[in-house]
Amino acid sequence: MTTTSLPASLDDVTATAARESADFTPRYWLFSLPAVLVIAAVIVFPWIYTLFMSLQDWKIGGGSEFVGLGNFMDLAKDQRFVESMGHTVYFTVLAVVLPIVFGTAAALVFHREFPARGLLRTIFIMPMMATPVAVALVWTMMFHPQLGVLNYLLSLVGIGPSAWVYDPGTVIPTLVMVEVWHWTPLVMLIVLGGLAGLPKEPYESALIDGANDWHMFRHITLPLVWPFIMVAIVIRTIDALKAFDTIFVITQGGPGTASETMNIFLYLQAFQFYKIGYASAVVVIFFIIIIMLSLLLLYARQKSKWNA
């Protein structure tokens, strides 16, 4: 009968395990090293270099000079930049609140059973399949004061023509209208997914107690589906903050600077005025704003979770 030799003591077992760990641990790093290098090259290095450029007075075609926080101090005194921040907040609030309200209402409608529901759902989500530039070009033609179809439709119901994006007072609400048309279907899909997974027992109990539709929505549906609405709010907020293509194609920040958001201001400083250092400072400020807002929204999203 063959016997297996055992370690002399517990110390021998510990020493053997330590040697095996020392042999294999370095090899694990080799598997993660390519990913670390890619992240460093694609994400970390550009941000470090952007921060470096934000501290320079650097123009394309000219030299650079270290100015420290000079670019940031100039931005604080730049009335055009301050106005672009206000335009960004105004646009973002409207472009988040309205799709959330309309998307949630559409989800409640399409959650019910009715004829041709599948066909109508398909038609409703078609806008989000188009690219933002294509959407912007189509709406630009529709907004034309003389040839646009929107003013023609207004005339059919006895309403006078509107200047739409050609009036500083209506340009941002008009751009938000495009965002609402384009991205309300996304909110509807997210909320609809939440509605599909809701339990039926609370509704059956509420019916027995004599609750009406509003009471069931207010006290059952909305609290249960709120985590999904928070997901939609996070996605829409980030999308609205970085909106560029639709605004640039339709107005280029005009009329004047009435629709110039931070993204448009950044683009113009970098590629029209060639002030790379100044534009990099805008990027740093914008990045800080997005990080702070994202953390706030993610915290709110975490607090909105419910235990099934």
pLDDT surpasses 80 at 210: yes
Place of tokens 């330590």: 18
The pLDDT tens digits for 152-179 are: 999 999 998 999 999 999 999 999 999 9
The phi, psi pair for 2, rounded to 5°, reads: -90, 135
Q: Is the pLDDT of residue 8 over 60?
A: no
Residue with tokens 């335009």: 87
pLDDT at residue 17, rounded to an integer: 56
- Whole-number mean pLDDT of the chain? 87
Mean pLDDT of 128-152: 92
State residue 21's pLDDT score. 55
Can you give the pLDDT at residue 147? 87
DSSP 156-176: HTTPPP--GGGSTTTHHHHHH
pLDDT value of position 229: 93
Report residue 221 as tokens.
């549906």
How far apart are alpha carbons 56 and 64 in whole angstroms?
6
**Which residues pair with residue 59 across a beta bridge?**
275
Q: What is the pLDDT of residues 75-114, one digit of tens each?
A: 999 999 999 999 999 999 999 999 999 999 999 999 998 8
Backbone angles phi, psi at 57, to 5 degrees: -90, 90
What is the tens place of the pLDDT at every residue in 263-286?
999 999 999 999 999 999 999 999
pLDDT beyond 60 at 306: no
Between CA 257 and CA 81 the distance in angstroms is 10
* CB of 284 closer than 8 Å to CB of 50: yes
Q: Which residues pair with 65 in a beta bridge?
A: 57
Residue 308 binned pLDDT confidence (cut-offs 50, 70, 90): very low
- CA–CA gap between residue 107 and residue 102 (Å, rounded): 9
> So what's the pLDDT on residue 13?
52
Q: What is the pTM of this model?
A: 0.85
Residues ≥6 apart with Cβ < 8 Å to 90: 172
pLDDT confidence of residue 307: 44
Which pLDDT score is estimated for 266?
94
- How do residues 248-266 score in pLDDT, each as one tens digit? 999 999 999 999 999 999 9
**What angle separates helix 79-111 from helix 262-271, to the nearest 10 degrees?**
130
In the Cβ-directed half-sphere of 93, how many Cα atoms lie within 13 Å? 5
Mean pLDDT of 210-222: 89
Q: Residue 93: CB partners within 8 Å, gap ≥ 6?
A: none
User: In sequence order, which residues have a C-beta less than 8 Å from that of residue 115 and are 6 or more positions away?
Assistant: none
Share of the chain above pLDDT 90, in %: 59
